[in-house]
C-alpha cells in the first residue's frame, strides 16, 4: 500500500505541474523583469527603424561609396567564412575527438577571440603580421606580402574574430554525432579520412551550416579588429561598419541608413537559423 500511495501521490503531483504549465501564466516577479529586458533590447532597434530617412533611403544606398562598402563587406565576409570553414572544421574535429595532452588548453586559446575585445585582436594581428611583426617581417622580406591596411588584411581580421563561432558550433556537433556509424564504416575497411568525408561530415552538415552563417554574420559586422589592422580606406578596406562610423560624424542620416541595412541582414540571418535553434531546443 505504501508503494501504491507514493505512486498515486507522484501521479497527482505530475498532473498538477502539467496543469500549471498548460495554463501558460507568467508570475509577475518573472514577467516584469522579462518585459523590461525585452524593452531594453527592442527599443533601440525600433528607434533605428523609426528614425530611418525613408524618403532619401534610395539615394543614400545607391551612392557609389556605400555600394563599394557593401560590396567589400559581402566579399570579405564570404572569404573569411570560407577560410573559417576550411581550417575551422578540422580544428573542431581535433578539439572534439583528440585525446592528446594540451587539447583543453588549445580549446581555451581558440575560443579566446569570442571574449577578447576586437581592438585587442587587431593589435595582436599587427604584432604578428605587421611589417615589423613576428611573422609579417618575413612575409614582407621573403615573399613581398604585406597584409596590414589591405583588403587581405580585412579578410584576416574578420576570420580571426569569426572563426571561433564556427569552431564552437561544429565541435559540439562532432561530440553529439553518433559514432556507431563511424565504427561500422571502420569495420568495412574505410580509412579515417574516408570516414570523416563520407560519414562524419554529412551528419554535421546542419550544424556546419549554422556555424558558417554565424561566422559570416560576425565577420560582416566586425569593426574593431578591422579598423586597427586594416584601416579605413574607401574602396579597399572600408566595410559597412566602418562606413557607418565615418558617416555618423558627418552625415547622421546616412549612418542610420547604413545601420538599417546591417539590421536587415542580421534579421535575415536570425530567420535563417530559427528553425535550427528550435529543433535543437526540442531535441534538448
C-alpha 226/C-alpha 125 separation (Å) is: 10
Distance CA 26, CA 128 (A): 52
**What share of the chain in percent tops pLDDT 90?**
42
Three-state DSSP at 234 gives: coil
Query: Between the CA of residue 91 and those of 60, 268, 275, what are the distances in Å?
Result: 42, 28, 26
- Percent of the chain surpassing pLDDT 70: 87
Instruction: List, in sequence order, every beta strand (DSSP E) within 8-153.
Output: none
CB 52 within 8 A of CB 60: no
CATH superfamily of domain region 56-283: MetI-like (1.10.3720.10)
- DSSP secondary structure of 87-127: HHHHHHHHHHH---TTHHHHHHHHTGGGTS-HHHHHHHHHH
pTM beyond 0.85: the answer is no
Residue 233 or 57, more confident: 233
CA distance 158 to 153: 9
Q: Are 244 and 258 in contact (CB under 8 A)?
A: yes
What is the pLDDT of the chain when averaged over all its residues? 85
- Domain residues of the chain, as ranges? 56-283
**pLDDT tens, position by position, 50-76:** 888 888 888 888 888 888 998 999 999
| Residue range 156-172, pLDDT digits in tens | 999 999 999 999 999 99
DSSP-derived 3-state class of residue 154: helix
Given this model, what pLDDT does residue 2 score? 60
Residue-wise pLDDT tens digits, 101-144? 889 899 999 999 988 999 999 999 999 999 888 999 998 889 88
Residue 258 burial (CB count, 10 A) = 26
Cα–Cα separations (whole angstroms), residue 231 to 131, 237, 242? 15, 6, 9
Does 8 or 99 have the greater pLDDT score? 99
Return the CA Rg of the chain. 25
The three three-digit cell numbers of residue 33, written as one number:
523583469
In whole angstroms, give the CA distance from residue 206 to residue 229. 33
How far is it, in rounded angstroms, from Cα 25 to Cα 22?
8
Question: Residue 8 — pLDDT band, cuts 50, 70, 90?
Answer: low
> How high is the pLDDT of residue 98?
87
Count of C-beta atoms within a 10 Å radius of residue 224: 18
Rounded Cα distance, 4 and 202, in Å: 49
pLDDT of residue 78 exceeding 70:
yes
- The span from the CA of 258 to the CA of 67, in Å, is 10
Residue 50 has which C-alpha cell? 523609426
The pLDDT value given to residue 282: 47
Q: For position 278, what pLDDT does the model report?
A: 46
pLDDT value at 23 more than 80: no
pLDDT for position 51:
87
Q: Cell numbers 534538448 correspond to what residue?
A: 284
Give the pLDDT score at 20: 46
For the cut 80, the answer to whether the pLDDT of residue 188 exceeds it is: yes
26 vs 192, residue with greater confidence: 192
Length of the chain as a residue count: 284
Report how far residue 74's alpha carbon sits from residue 67's, in angstroms, rounded to the nearest whole number. 11
Q: Is the pLDDT of residue 280 over 60?
A: no
Amino acid at each position: 500500500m505504501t508503494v501504491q500511495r507514493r505512486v498515486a501521490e507522484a501521479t497527482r503531483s505530475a498532473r498538477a505541474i502539467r496543469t500549471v504549465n498548460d495554463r501558460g501564466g507568467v508570475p509577475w516577479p518573472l514577467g516584469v523583469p522579462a518585459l523590461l529586458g525585452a524593452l531594453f533590447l527592442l527599443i533601440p532597434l525600433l528607434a533605428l527603424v523609426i528614425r530611418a530617412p525613408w524618403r532619401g533611403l534610395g539615394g543614400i544606398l545607391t551612392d557609389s561609396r556605400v555600394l563599394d562598402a557593401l560590396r567589400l563587406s559581402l566579399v570579405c565576409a564570404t572569404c573569411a567564412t570560407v577560410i573559417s570553414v576550411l581550417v575551422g572544421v578540422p580544428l573542431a574535429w581535433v578539439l572534439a575527438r583528440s585525446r592528446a595532452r594540451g587539447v583543453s588548453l588549445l580549446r581555451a586559446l581558440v575560443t579566446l577571440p569570442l571574449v577578447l575585445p576586437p581592438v585587442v585582436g587587431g593589435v595582436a594581428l599587427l604584432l604578428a603580421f605587421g611589417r615589423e611583426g613576428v611573422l609579417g617581417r618575413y612575409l614582407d622580406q621573403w615573399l613581398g606580402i604585406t597584409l596590414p591596411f589591405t583588403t587581405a588584411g580585412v579578410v584576416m581580421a574578420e576570420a580571426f574574430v569569426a572563426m571561433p563561432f564556427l569552431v564552437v558550433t561544429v565541435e559540439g556537433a562532432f561530440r553529439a554525432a553518433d559514432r556507431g556509424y563511424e565504427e561500422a564504416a571502420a569495420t568495412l575497411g574505410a580509412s579515417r579520412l574516408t570516414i570523416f568525408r563520407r560519414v562524419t561530415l554529412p551528419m554535421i552538415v546542419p550544424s556546419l551550416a549554422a556555424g558558417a552563417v554565424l561566422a559570416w554574420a560576425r565577420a560582416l559586422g566586425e569593426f574593431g579588429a578591422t579598423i586597427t589592422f586594416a584601416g579605413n580606406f574607401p574602396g579597399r578596406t572600408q566595410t559597412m561598419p566602418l562606413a557607418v562610423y565615418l558617416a555618423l560624424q558627418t552625415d547622421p542620416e546616412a549612418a542610420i541608413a547604413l545601420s538599417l541595412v546591417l539590421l536587415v541582414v542580421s534579421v535575415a540571418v536570425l530567420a535563417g537559423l530559427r528553425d535550427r535553434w528550435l529543433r535543437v531546443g526540442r531535441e534538448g
